[in-house]
Amino acid sequence: MIARRVDGIEVLSCEPERRRHAAPLLFVHGAFAGAWVWDEHFLPWFAAQGFSAHALSLRGHGGSTGRERIDWLSVHDYVEDVAATVADLGAAPVLIGHSMGGFVVQKYLEHHAVPAAVLMCSVPPQGLVAAQFSLLFEKPGLMVEINRLLGGGDVALDVLREALFAQEVSDDTLRRYYRLMQPESQRAIWDMSMFGLPNLKAMHRPPLLVLGAEKDVLIPPFLVQSTARTYGVGDRIFRGLGHGVMLEKDWLHVAETIRDWLAEVAV
């Protein structure tokens, strides 16, 4: 793995020994996280499949600049980070966005074309409101704890387990992830709730793969299915997985699905 900065944005890259695919992959993380979520499994695995694989930390996240003013950062700022990273790659990548990152990908497509895109447990184009109400009714205690994390407060380790995982994960691994987690921009949350929803008429429409997880309590399957219907594509819901699909024990099923779909659309 190679780490570098692009205009203050942390970019992690894994290059294959022999590149077999023309388009690079660019992974976009979700809220409270950074590029590290992709380096755990996906970046090295996709590089081993012959892809040039990259992940950025949106400004204010991971090793990128801007942490001290994160509450002022907008989804538009995050889209600019993706655009700067794409320009540095020198070729239009396949964009793969998780949760908030999927929303950022949708906003990026308002002004840019890419060979293909993947939305994983993504905030739907209709925004976060339905997800927030679902969490309020299904897991009110978890919603309170997530709001505490949003404001920079500490939460119990089991909150992270409940929010991200449906499969077994060790306490040591959870502690390591918890140390890497961080507050999220409240302005970006409002953008995703109502003030910055994607302009569907303006969006480029590349081949699109929409993925979700059966046990996801943050973006439940019915919202993943709504996203797929909005874009006129099918959906794939992974049984027994939670929101953090790229970190779950069975992450390989998700990675293989993306690889096989990219082969189908000849990327």
For the chain, domains (ranges, CATH) are: 2-264 (3.40.50.1820)
Q: Is residue 33 within 8 Å of residue 246, measured between CB atoms?
A: no
Q: Is residue 61 within 8 Å of residue 234, measured between CB atoms?
A: no
Residue 252: what residue type?
A: L
- The CA distance from 5 to 76, in Å, is 20
CB atoms within 10 A of CB 210: 25
Identify the residue whose tokens are 């927030």.
132
Which burial class, exposed, middle or buried, applies to 6 when counting CB atoms under 10 A from its CB (0-12, 13-18, 19+)? Answer: middle
- The CA distance from 85 to 108, in Å, is 12
- The CA distance from 114 to 135, in Å, is 33
72 secondary structure, DSSP code:
G
Q: For every one of its 267 residues, what pLDDT tens digit does the chain have, with 9 covering 90 and above?
A: 898 999 999 999 999 999 888 899 999 999 999 999 999 999 999 999 999 999 999 999 999 999 999 999 999 999 999 999 999 998 999 999 999 999 999 999 999 999 999 999 999 999 998 888 888 778 887 777 777 766 666 777 788 888 999 999 999 999 999 999 988 999 999 999 988 999 999 999 999 999 999 999 999 999 999 999 999 999 999 999 999 999 999 999 999 999 999 999 977
Tokens of 161: 């387990």
